[in-house]
Structures are given as structure tokens and as C-alpha cells.
Amino acid sequence: MSLTCKVQVILENISDKKAEAVRKALEPDNVNFPENLTLELENFDNKLVFNFQSQGSMKKLIATVDEVLEHVQVALKVIE
């Protein structure tokens, strides 16, 4: 039996321009995404929503969420 975990992170009050820049900054990271882990991005109502889903290792999920958020933070600092 495999454990499935979902994590949703929402960045609020983000312009479409910034959201698109963050999305483009993350594209290279999605090439070799860890096995059994998914990330979907949605942008609506001035929100950027990250939906992570993992089957199996919670350590991989936590590490991946942390890494993605670090990249988001860097991207937002560069934009400003």
C-alpha cells in the first residue's frame, strides 16, 4: 500500500507578470522531477497556486517543496 500526500502552497497578491516570470523560472526544474512526484501550477485571481502530490517518500516531497520555494523566492527577488 502506497501513501499519497498532497501539499498546496498559495502565493497571494501576485501580478500576472510576476506569476508568469516565476513559472518560466521553474520550467527547467520540471525536466527531471523526482519519480512519483508531481507539481501543477495554477494562476488565477492574483494567486499562484502550487499543487504538489507524492506517492511514497515524504522526505522527497518535503525536500522538493523546499527546493521549489527557494527557487520561487530567488525569482521574485530578481524580478523586483
Q: Where are the domains of the chain?
A: 4-79
CB-based contact 80:38 (threshold 8 Å): no
Place of cell 498546496: 8
Task: Give pLDDT tens digits for 4-61.
Answer: 999 999 999 999 889 988 988 888 766 677 788 999 999 989 999 999 999 988 888 9
Which 8-state DSSP code applies to residue 80?
Answer: -
Predicted local confidence at residue 27, as pLDDT: 80
User: In 32-48, which positions are buried (b, 16+ CB within 10 angstroms) versus exposed (e)?
Assistant: eeeeebebeeebeeeeb
What does the pLDDT read at residue 1? Answer: 57
The whole-model pTM stands at 0.86
Which pLDDT score, from 0 to 100, does residue 31 have? 67
CATH fold group of domain 4-79: TATA-Binding Protein (3.30.310)
